[in-house]
Amino acid sequence: MTNSKNTSPNTLRIAIAQLNPTMGDIAGNMKLAREARADAARQKADLILFTELFVSGYPPEDLVLKPAFVDDCMEAVEDFAKETDDGGPGVIIGSPYAEYTDKGKSKTRTLHNAVAVLDEGKIQTWRLKVDLPNYGEFDEKRVFKAGPLPGPVNFRGVRLGIPICEDIWGDMGVCETLAESGAEILLSPNGSPYYREKMDVRQQVVIGKVVETGLPMIYANQLGGQDELVFDGGSFVINADHTLPVQMNQFEDSVITTVWRRGDAKEGESWVCDKGVIAKLPDVDEADWRACVTGLRDYVNKNGFKNVVLGLSGGIDSAIVAALSVDALGEERVRCIMLPYKYTSDESLKDAQDCARALGVRYEIVPIEEPVLGFHTALKDVFAGTDEGITEENLQSRARGVILMAVSNKFGSMVVTTGNKSEMSVGYATLYGDMNGGYNPIKDLYKMEVYKLSDWRNKHCPPDCKGPTGIVIPQNIIDKAPSAELRPDQTDQDSLPPYPVLDDILQCLVEKEMSTDTIVAKGHDKETVHRIEHLLYIAEYKRRQSAPGVKITRKNFGRDRRYPITNRYRDRN
């Protein structure tokens, strides 16, 4: 490796590694780290900064409670440290860290979220995360212990403060302590998952700490999908004068080197980062789309599926999921099946076919009349003397679910499910029917957001998306009234309020936890609000059994919103 050891105390070249680790793949993650360090050496970097818990993947949840896993992570760090005796860049890398303390005849094991500083062929030191987040999607206090307030690390004559993720978000005084104890630059490794407009929030948090400490900061963020979470990268630097000299892309992996120059200490000047890459960040619609694509792509690839299959109904939800699937995986890895019944309209058949042609996917038609008739025949005696209704409608959905799962089993394809957040909120979905599937890329998008993004995708083709340009969702699918087509002339609005009304009520109830009286005061009908709140609560049991899906909003179902299934509370006066 090229010798890039710094010969001047007045300059420092720090590479930021914005990469996509895989949970539990220690060897694979270390391969990424070695390749990134070699890249940083070619860029003549003195130091490379990796993201939070890079060695293990983030968030590891209860995986870190397995001692062998943590021991393997630490051993991998030790092996990597030995390679830093080559005169190349030093390393700051995140890993779980187990600390052992003798107590009498036994040893106490304390587990930390930590970073290791590697240089000159050894681990120079470990730094432990102080502020463990325990809200929303985070529950680190379940598995980790907080570390003590840290001091700076001396790296080749420069005192570096290393606050780990929440250490800059919370109020534990970590950054202030580092500044007071002599840190010159703050380097923050993060595992900060995406939600809409999160980049603005991150930059404001960092600027706040820069103002408090008077120190510049590097904010390095993870990339890639991990189950329901998507990490969008977007790493950046804020100088002490609050300017932004470096902004990396969202949703793209890269290693870039930042160049730092020491100011005049006598004049009270701090280190300053030279102007470098300033990426153009995506707008809200593009960011949401790319988050859905990234989450789906990584879920499929990291879990070893070769391709996906979905039911293409001619409706908006399955159409957008088909488009997302092609953007994520390419047309050759997406199979769409139309599953018509006697209530399926000619319009839907045409729309599904047009969508499949626009996307270039494999498309088949498998009628479900015979399996549905089989269910009716088998249940004839059991259902004798009863009227037909929702049960019989659900048999159609469940027949479709069985067929899609059969294709999945036969060919090893993962079923992508297509329910939006509006439907998941009020239970407008069938267990073991249209809810069947391994992953749902639109699970956290309300219905009107589905329409908005569909229209947006027809006009744009984002970077790193594999689908075609132009119209990929036929305009008629966007324009027509949505319908499950489970009975003659059915529309969704037969059972639900208009989607703009429904979505606003749900956002008030779910995202904002508003009282029903406050929602009514906004102009909504009281009876409708009470009905939607009731449907939201009684559908909890369905959501617990639903496929995971990409987190887009600040409060998704699952990690962020954990309501009890058995729950008689209703907000009534």
Amino acid letter, residue 567: N
Task: Give the total residue count for the chain.
Answer: 573
Q: Residue 397: which CATH number? A: 3.40.50.620
What distance in Å separates the CA atoms of residue 410 and residue 11, rounded to the nearest whole number? 60
Q: Model confidence over 205-254: pLDDT tens digits?
A: 999 999 999 999 999 999 999 999 999 999 999 999 999 999 999 999 99
Q: Model confidence over 489-533: pLDDT tens digits?
A: 667 666 788 999 999 999 999 999 999 999 999 999 999 999 999
Query: What was the pLDDT predicted at 9?
Result: 67
What distance in Å separates the CA atoms of residue 103 and residue 532, rounded to the nearest whole number? 56
Residue 395 exposure: Cα atoms within 13 Å on the Cβ side: 17
Domain boundary among 249, 281, 313: 281
Q: Model confidence over 400-441: pLDDT tens digits?
A: 999 999 999 999 999 999 999 999 999 989 999 999 999 999
What distance in Å separates the CA atoms of residue 339 and residue 174, rounded to the nearest whole number? 57
CB 453 within 8 A of CB 287: no
Classify residue 375: in a domain, yes or no: yes
Amino acid letter, residue 518: T
Classify residue 551: in a domain, yes or no: no
Mean pLDDT check: name the lowest of 148-157, 177-186, 237-246, 259-268. 259-268
Residues 6 or more apart whose CB falls under 8 angstroms from that of 284 comprise 196, 197
What distance in Å separates the CA atoms of residue 282 and residue 236, rounded to the nearest whole number? 15
Is there a single domain that holds both residue 131 and residue 165? yes
Domain residues for the domain of 402 are: 285-544
Classify residue 384: in a domain, yes or no: yes
Q: Model confidence over 531-560: pLDDT tens digits?
A: 999 999 999 999 999 999 999 999 899 888
Q: pTM of the entire structure?
A: 0.92
Classify residue 205: in a domain, yes or no: yes
Is there a single domain that holds both residue 253 and residue 309? no
Could you tell me which residue, 17 or 480, shows the higher pLDDT?
17
From first CA to last CA, the distance across the chain in angstroms is 72
Domain boundary among 259, 281, 303: 281
Q: Which residue has the tokens 């970077």?
A: 463
Query: What was the pLDDT predicted at 571?
Result: 85
Is there a single domain that holds both residue 186 and residue 271? yes
Domain boundary among 261, 281, 301: 281
Is there a single domain that holds both residue 265 and residue 292? no
What average pLDDT does range 5-13 have in this prediction? 70
Going across the sheet that includes 122-128, the strands are 122-128, 106-119, 90-103, 47-49, 11-18, 254-261, 272-273
Is there a single domain that holds both residue 501 and residue 357? yes
* Structure tokens, 514: 């508003």
Flag whether pLDDT at 485 surpasses 70: no
CB 570 within 8 A of CB 534: yes
Q: How high is the mean pLDDT of the chain?
A: 92
* Structure tokens, 520: 């009514």
Q: Coil, helix or strand for 234?
A: coil
Q: Model confidence over 270-295: pLDDT tens digits?
A: 899 999 999 999 999 999 999 999 99
Is there a single domain that holds both residue 263 and residue 334? no
Is there a single domain that holds both residue 153 and residue 229? yes
Over its C-alpha atoms, the chain yields an Rg (Å, rounded) of 26
Query: What was the pLDDT predicted at 6?
Result: 47
What distance in Å separates the CA atoms of residue 319 and residue 351, rounded to the nearest whole number? 9
Q: Coil, helix or strand for 443?
A: coil
CB 300 within 8 A of CB 291: no
Residue 223's beta-bridge partner residues?
A: 232
- Assign residue 553 a region: left if phi > 0, alpha if psi is -120 to 50, beta otherwise? beta
Q: Residue 434's closest CA among 481, 395, 377, 479?
A: 395
Classify residue 237: in a domain, yes or no: yes
Classify residue 571: in a domain, yes or no: no
Flag whether pLDDT at 91 surpasses 60: yes
Is there a single domain that holds both residue 158 and residue 20? yes
Query: What was the pLDDT predicted at 102?
Result: 72
Going across the sheet that includes 414-415, the strands are 362-365, 334-338, 308-311, 414-415
Residues 6 or more apart whose CB falls under 8 angstroms from that of 225 comprise 231, 294, 295, 296, 297, 298, 299, 302, 550
Classify residue 559: in a domain, yes or no: no
Number of domains in the chain: 2
Q: Which residue has the tokens 């960040």?
A: 281
Is there a single domain that holds both residue 313 and residue 240? no
Is there a single domain that holds both residue 536 and residue 387? yes
What average pLDDT does range 147-175 have in this prediction? 92
Classify residue 181: in a domain, yes or no: yes
What distance in Å separates the CA atoms of residue 296 and residue 309, rounded to the nearest whole number? 13
Residues classed as catalytic: 52, 129, 165
Is there a single domain that holds both residue 265 and residue 301? no
Is there a single domain that holds both residue 307 and residue 267? no
Q: Residue 41: which CATH number? A: 3.60.110.10
Given pLDDT bands bounded at 50, 70 and 90, which one contains residue 265?
low
Could you tell me which residue, 481 or 99, shows the higher pLDDT?
99
